[in-house]
Amino acid sequence: MVLPPGFKSDKPNQVCKLLWSLYGLRQANRQWNAKLTKALQNCGFQQSTADPSLFTKSTSDSYLALLVYVDDILVAESGFLDAKPAKTPCITGQKLTNLEGKLLESPEIYRKLVGKLLYLTNTRPDITFAVQHLSQFVDKPRNAHLVAAHRVLRYLKGSPGKGLFYTSKSQIKLQGFSYSDWATCAETRKSVTGYCIYLGNSLIS
């Protein structure tokens, strides 16, 4: 590395030695991954032999999994293993409001949970309605909203095998279905509309 302008030295042809990899270099990603892997292993995580980007750590009363993609990390843990499974993601007819319940002391807990559930709707469209309803209260969440979010987790625990399935034998036929619940929003009196698009028997949107 060439010396920066303004740096004076009595030794001719002096250069700087890099101790850390810089962004933009070809080996930067590899060095970052190697350093992260070493740090996680020092914390007790085990690297999966089937998928090197998966790290797990288990104790007598907890289980933690980290999935690394470049510089993003997805965290999963057993917070609700002992919870009672629910048959539906939300209570039928329940309408949450901004004034129901007590404000949460740590709203970031609710926001992180809703963010994870929003990501999960990509493969679990059955929780889409409940999650979009919960996402309306991330600004000032209350304990009633957190209880409703926990019910979605209990529903997921009771239905781990559900998800999207795309068969190779489905006919090429595009179908769309929609439904509107007139003035159902308790806050704004706006209607709630839902839709789904099928290509044959496969849900695509």
The residue among 96, 101, 100, 150 whose CA lies nearest residue 127 is: 150
Tokens of 105: 């002391």
* Residues in a beta bridge with 126: none
Domain ranges of the chain: 1-78, 84-164, 165-205
Percent of the chain with pLDDT over 70: 94
pLDDT digit string, tens, across residues 159-177: 888 877 888 888 889 999 9
Distances in whole angstroms, Cα of residue 181 to Cα of each of 93, 117, 135, 192: 12, 23, 18, 5
Tokens of 141: 């969440």
Distances in whole angstroms, Cα of residue 28 to Cα of each of 31, 38, 130: 5, 15, 41
- pTM of this prediction? 0.63
pLDDT digit string, tens, across residues 9-64: 777 777 777 676 666 667 777 888 888 999 999 999 999 998 899 999 988 878 89
50 alpha carbon, distance to own chain's centre: 22
CA angle 72, 143, 195 (to 5 degrees): 65
